[in-house]
Amino acid sequence: MPRDAHTISRKQISENALKVLYRLNKSGFKAYLVGGGVRDLLLGIEPKDFDVVTNATPEEIKKLFRNCRVVGRRFRLAHIVFGRDVIEVATFRGHHGESNEKVSKANAEGRLLRDNVYGEIDEDAERRDFTVNALYYDISDYSIRSYGGGMTDLKAGTLRLIGDPETRYREDPVRMLRAVRFATKLNMGIETVTAAPIKQLAPLLKDIPAARMYEEVLKLFFAGKALANFELMQEYKLFAPLFPQVAALLKDDPKGTTMKMVQAIMKSTDQRVNEDKPVTPSFFYAALLWYPLRQRAEDIAVESGLTLYDAFFAAMGDVMEQQCQTISIPRRFSTPAKDIWQLQLRFDRSQGTRAFKLMEHPKFRAAYDLLLLRGEVEAGNVAKSAAWWQQFVEADETERLAIARSGTKSPNRNRNATQRRRRPRAPNADGSAATSAPKTSGTPKAKAAE
């Protein structure tokens, strides 16, 4: 497609990406803007990043850019660093052959463990995942190259995998998650042949490194399409390999409390993203794993005889450790998540004057938000506790003091105080006031003295 046949302008491309494209081109290499950046510009969406592809090898790229670092083992890439902006530059991928054993390797399931086979642009296009990502913007003449019917699928709103779907999913199972994410982000339908093997191959996600899955979860649930992605993942059985503890509860009761909580979390996350409010993995994982935590605590209490309160603390490490086997949650998020859990146990105990101290906790706000979600989902006593705290949090200082004082007056406490109050002594026979008799030892000699 020549320049006058498409809508992409250089003004829409970041200045740093253009610097990389121009320098590669002037140095005698082919240079293209590729993939999502081109796709989003054609759809009128502002790209989050711009990726470049070239026939220069990572070593040749490094010689051209002093601010370049070569990264990756599975895929060797060049990162051109401009402060916080990083332009990723890849070398054209080629097809595997028998002579490529030293630079390419796959496991028994077909997943690529190493893939540094270089080729030409036509081969690179065939190695792309979806046709709508096989779009190349040529900096030499500002034209666009479309492969595999990419432009046609883009206009039709169809997400189609390049090549045999089962083979491509086995090469990289994360492509199944990418299919879901692109379908919701771009408002596209997954083509029938592309969708067919996903349910069967979904368990392959268990073999993906947990650190990589952490990044994929951020893309799935922190981009304003959390609820839509969750529903599509459930349809294709992709949620269970990522969150097995949550999935087990969903399987036992598909329309129960856990499902309501997951849906509430996804809606809340989408709302915050759309309102440009911060979202944190700490809250997300604390909320998502709350019911698996409660279930595990109840199991520990039965098995060990611990109180449910103590069992909760024992269960926290178990639940987080099991989750980290599939998604590697950094400690900077897993530790605050445990703080949010602990505060749930303190809300009922802190209604009253203790509430002021609890509000000073650094994770109070996140824990309070989780309590409100639990109140919506569970009703009953949790809803009453959430209502009390909501009234307390939203009141001004004077009102809070009154609410806190009223919160200390429980029926049990007043009844106990009444029972401890001394009864007045009956008057003496002559009408004089009774005096306290001295205590006696209760021995016969003492009684005789009386």
Which of the residues are catalytic? 49, 51, 129
Strand partners, 145: 136
Q: How far apart are CA 231 and CA 235, in angstroms?
A: 6
Evaluate whether 127 touches 93 at the Cβ level (below 8 Å). Answer: yes
Evaluate whether 140 touches 25 at the Cβ level (below 8 Å). Answer: yes
Evaluate whether 112 touches 106 at the Cβ level (below 8 Å). Answer: yes
Q: How far apart are CA 213 and CA 327, in angstroms?
A: 5
Q: How many CB atoms lie within 10 A of CB 272?
A: 18
Evaluate whether 300 touches 315 at the Cβ level (below 8 Å). Answer: yes
Cβ within 8 Å of residue 296, ≥6 positions away: 315, 318, 319
Dump strand ranges (E) for 110-218: 112-115, 135-138, 144-146, 158-159, 189-190
Q: How far apart are CA 218 and CA 239, in angstroms?
A: 14
Task: Lay out the sheet containing 135-138: strands in order across.
Answer: 68-71, 77-82, 85-91, 51-54, 31-34, 135-138, 144-146
- Dihedrals φ, ψ of 235, to 5°? -60, -40
Evaluate whether 426 touches 432 at the Cβ level (below 8 Å). Answer: no
Evaluate whether 9 touches 148 at the Cβ level (below 8 Å). Answer: no
